[in-house]
Structure 1
Amino acid sequence: MSMLDQATAGAPRTGTDGSGPSDDGVVGVTIVWADNNGIPRSRTVPVDQFGAVSERGVGVTPLFAVFDSHDAITFDHAPLGTPSGDIRLVPVSDRMVRLAGQPGFAWVPGRQVAADGSAWPYDQRGALERQVRRAADLGLDFLAGYEIEFHLSRADGDDDPRPVFDGPSYGPAKMLAVDAFAARLLRDLDRNGVPIGQFQGEYGPGQFEFDIAPADPVTAADRQLLARQTVHAAARAHGLRASFAPLVTLGQVGNGWHLHTSLSRSGTNLLSGGDGPEGMTAEGGAYLAGLLRDLPAIVAVTAPSLSSLQRLRPGYWSGAYTFWGVQNREAALRLVPATPLLGAAHANVELKPSDASANPYLALAAVIAAGLAGVEDGLTPPGPVQEDPGTWTDEQRAERGIHRLPTSVEEQLGALLTNERIRSALGEELTDAFRAVRASDAAWAAGRDAADVVRSFRWLY
């Protein structure tokens, strides 16, 4: 049995002599990771080479850590200041999936390691794995899930995207407009092992959404990357083009990838069943308070692009202010409480300022690190806000300790670089590479108008 067979329990097989692909037609395995812009990058290897690649990886340049959103390489991070060097991309073989929408290929997430096989400080997946281990050491487990919004347009409308439907939101007519695409997408997500809870036509023109069922954080991040690939393949098959960009067209609503998390101890969800605020336990409330305390630095990681900054506007349900609320869709942190109908396990916290330009592993690492620090410090959250602070005066917001989240790259980086908790979670090397990439993006955008910046991010994700 080949390494590929062992990893996927009957997935693509080479011939018995190892000379070529099996009769199922799979010829290559695509190894995927996400860079510091949230952009998936990959290497594809012939299926008969996968066994060797599982052992030694494939070579990639370390400079992927300092690629900016438009593929410029910045040398502003000193440890990666030359074009020299090499690292290895190693597939996480037990996460192998045969792609339902691309029958010639299998898909697998990758881990970046140093040339000698040791840990590579810029490996984003490793940053998340460290936080998951830290939580386990404290006796805590996490679940994470995504609501994924995206825009569908006709494939021939690159310069001026033509949404597939521009009419009443949320209705069956909007779904009917993409009937064949929707059927294929649901089948392909299922076959690719991405369980979802629902799929709907969303608020904006041509906008749709599905939610990925909760899983452990590393699995959730892997599924987020796989879901993108699945959507793009299904769209292509039906003459459509998908955009996950935070903002597709200036002035329209944007695409969020709302991140839902919950934490438990000994199988009990700590966001319900307690006598704290809104039924949270003391540790659940401390988790929420930790997120609130570090929210500006978290959002510098979870919504880091110039397109993100254009999306995060008051009144658009994107979470532009630093407050939490119970089922308040304007809140950056929305508590979804347990109910008698849904049960105690359903309680979770939704982070609304989160989008596709975030590396999913770094986003979850930042969220978990902030929440764990809140638990360790025994924080107590302030009371929830059930109104829209965007309608208040500056004085009213100041009285409640509510502030606008950073509105520029400089403000975001200031929040991140002065936050020792989030910097420590990412690691100093990765944090500074991330800083250099964001600064490179800002330099690229200097002098360009807002519409041009939106266009430049439209098809990156």
Structure 2
Amino acid sequence: MTTTSDAVPDARTVAAELSDAGVAGVTISWADNNGIPRSRTVPVSALPRVAETGIGVTTLFAVFDSSDAITYAHEGLSSPSGDVRLVPVLDGLVPLAGQPALAWAPGRILDADGAPWPYDQRAVLERQVEELGKAGLTALVGYEIEFGVYAEGGPDEFVPAHPGPAYSPHALLAVDEFMADVLRDFTANGLEIGQLHAEYGPAQMELSLAPSDPVTAADRQLLARQTLRAAARRNGLRLSFAPLPAQAAAGNGWHIHSSVWRDGRNLLAGNQEGPGAEGAAYIAGLLRDLPAVAAITAPTLGSLARLRPGFFAGAFAFWGVENREAPLRYVPGSKFLGSDHANVELKTSDASANPYLALAAVLAAGAAGVADELSLEPPVQADPGSWSEKERAEQKIALLPRTQAEQEAALTGNPRIPAVLGDDLLGAFLAVRRSDAAAAEDRSPDDVLAGLRWRY
């Protein structure tokens, strides 16, 4: 086993404290290759045992597709036989304010004998953070989370819970109790909100999570979903985190803000022209690998439907300073905010991305740019979607992949990002993407989006 000998006593202490607080069970959560949270819940009394030896779960979770169909097309997981062990990460355990009978913990998945399992996405990010450390780098990551708020109803009902107008306090009056519960529950669950507001689309809201180390950021992204859904249920509402809930709806991006640091110095610090040399190399690395990165951070058919020019979704491959059409939006520091505020926002990211894989891909691409000392072309401050094809060609700006096949080609043809996942996990990830694409062949775009609307 990879657990230490003092894990059981620690877990016993935690279990006793939870029991004294009236908590009955612990939900252990992870995300699959579609970004869909999965979980197992155990009684509090079982936590010491589970912390040491885990819970048995099927290996096939790695090849569930977005509709819960299982594909056997990946050779490494082509049989219904086999179990692995889901182990709670006790450092991330939180009693849930919105579900008082439960606590929540992120999970890692180990092989049946306790060894690392090659399909465990959390371990991929942990390894990438270690690789950053070997290069003398650390990273901070924060999320902007967009989602739609709707009235409860049947699976085909899609009734906005607030009428707008966009960014107005008037819009939030219709969901005032929900918003109050979100603010209270996030604080109680240890989630720091930067801001919360009505977004552009009907019924759409956005909140930002304060930056943290990458693994914690991915854990908190999953916890944020659990917290939001519990608050919605308590108020007779339901939420859609889908990249595009319907063709006429606004898309939901889950934007990744990252900064990279060396010796306590933010390498992205700079000015309105851009960061210094190493920070520019980090952005250049992201831009170089963006088609492959987007295949991880915006991987589903819903993601591809969201990537529309003119919708602030980042449909073209370029970078800009505070340019909201850019998939890579550089946010400079300032005298008012401080230079360490600087970061780069990836807009081609959504809830259908596994958060651990998404952050691993982002950090690997950026770190490779620093290692290779890449230079960065001048920023683009306009909307390339308004240009002619000739103008875009002159500026070497192309659309990001628009189909599953194009995304797969971009990912497998990249010399860096597949190595981050490893052959086994890459194979399972691609099998799931192909399964989604095959299932959609005889369905309308509206039907495909409707099938994803409540999944995340």
Give me the TM-score of the superposition, normalised by structure 1: 0.95
- Unpaired runs of at least 5, structure 2: 1-5
- 1:108 alignment counterpart: 105
Deviations 1:388-419 (A, max 9, x none): 00000111111111000111000011101111
> Quick check: 1:4–1:12 contact (8 Å CA) kept in 2?
no
1:63 aligns with 2:66: no
C-alpha displacement of 1:447: 1.3
C-alpha displacement of 1:24: 2.7
C-alpha displacement of 1:329: 0.2
- Unpaired runs of at least 5, structure 1: 15-20
C-alpha displacement of 1:84: 1.1
- 2:404 alignment counterpart: 409
In 1, distance between residues paired with 2:120 and 2:223?
Answer: 18
- 2:357 alignment counterpart: 362
Deviations 1:213-250 (A, max 9, x none): 00000000000000000000000000000110001121
Paired letter, 2:166: S
Name the SS for the 1:115 alignment partner: coil
Q: Residues 310-329 of structure 1 correspond to what in structure 2 (within 5 A)?
A: 310-329=305-324
Paired letter, 2:359: L
Q: Residues 281-296 of structure 1 correspond to what in structure 2 (within 5 A)?
A: 281-296=276-291
> Quick check: 1:12–1:98 contact (8 Å CA) kept in 2?
no
Name the SS for the 2:16 alignment partner: coil
In 1, distance between residues paired with 2:303 and 2:133?
Answer: 32
> Quick check: 1:26–1:103 contact (8 Å CA) kept in 2?
yes
**Which of 369, 376, 397 lines up with 2:371 in the alignment?**
376
**Which of 261, 265, 275 lines up with 1:264 in the alignment?**
261
**Which of 165, 170, 173 lines up with 1:168 in the alignment?**
165
C-alpha displacement of 1:50: 0.2
C-alpha displacement of 1:160: 2.4
1:137 aligns with 2:134: yes
In 2, distance between residues paired with 1:178 and 1:252?
Answer: 19
Q: Residues 298-309 of structure 1 correspond to what in structure 2 (within 5 A)?
A: 298-309=293-304
- 1:226 alignment counterpart: 223
> Quick check: 1:11–1:97 contact (8 Å CA) kept in 2?
no
> Quick check: 1:3–1:50 contact (8 Å CA) kept in 2?
no
In 2, distance between residues paired with 1:441 and 1:411?
Answer: 14
Q: Structure 1 residues 154-163 or 433-442, which shifts more?
A: 154-163
> Quick check: 2:26–2:43 contact (8 Å CA) kept in 1?
yes
> Quick check: 1:65–1:122 contact (8 Å CA) kept in 2?
yes
Paired letter, 2:444: D
- 1:182 alignment counterpart: 179
- 2:3 alignment counterpart: none
Q: Residues 190-229 of structure 1 correspond to what in structure 2 (within 5 A)?
A: 190-229=187-226
> Quick check: 2:8–2:52 contact (8 Å CA) kept in 1?
no
Name the SS for the 1:119 alignment partner: coil
Distance 1:289 1:216, change over 3 A: same
**Which of 95, 98, 109 lines up with 2:95 in the alignment?**
98
> Quick check: 2:124–2:356 contact (8 Å CA) kept in 1?
yes
- 1:400 alignment counterpart: 395
Name the SS for the 1:258 alignment partner: strand
- 1:17 alignment counterpart: none
> Quick check: 1:150–1:245 contact (8 Å CA) kept in 2?
yes
Aligned residues: 451
Paired letter, 1:410: A
Name the SS for the 1:211 alignment partner: strand
In 2, distance between residues paired with 1:108 and 1:223?
Answer: 10
Give me the TM-score of the superposition, normalised by structure 2: 0.96
| RMSD, matched Cα | 1.6
- 1:13 alignment counterpart: 16
In 1, distance between residues paired with 2:91 and 2:287?
Answer: 36
C-alpha displacement of 1:23: 4.5
Paired letter, 1:148: I
> Quick check: 1:74–1:436 contact (8 Å CA) kept in 2?
yes
> Quick check: 1:5–1:13 contact (8 Å CA) kept in 2?
no
- 1:347 alignment counterpart: 342
- 1:18 alignment counterpart: none
- 1:338 alignment counterpart: 333
C-alpha displacement of 1:177: 1.2
Question: Percent of aligned positions with the same letter in both sequences?
Answer: 59
In 2, distance between residues paired with 1:183 and 1:5?
Answer: 38
**Which of 439, 443, 448 lines up with 1:448 in the alignment?**
443
- 1:118 alignment counterpart: 115
In 2, distance between residues paired with 1:250 and 1:85?
Answer: 40
In 2, distance between residues paired with 1:22 and 1:367?
Answer: 40
In 2, distance between residues paired with 1:220 and 1:5?
Answer: 27
> Quick check: 2:7–2:52 contact (8 Å CA) kept in 1?
no
In 2, distance between residues paired with 1:306 and 1:206?
Answer: 22
> Quick check: 2:315–2:348 contact (8 Å CA) kept in 1?
yes
Name the SS for the 1:153 alignment partner: strand
C-alpha displacement of 1:34: 0.3
C-alpha displacement of 1:94: 1.2
Name the SS for the 1:460 alignment partner: coil
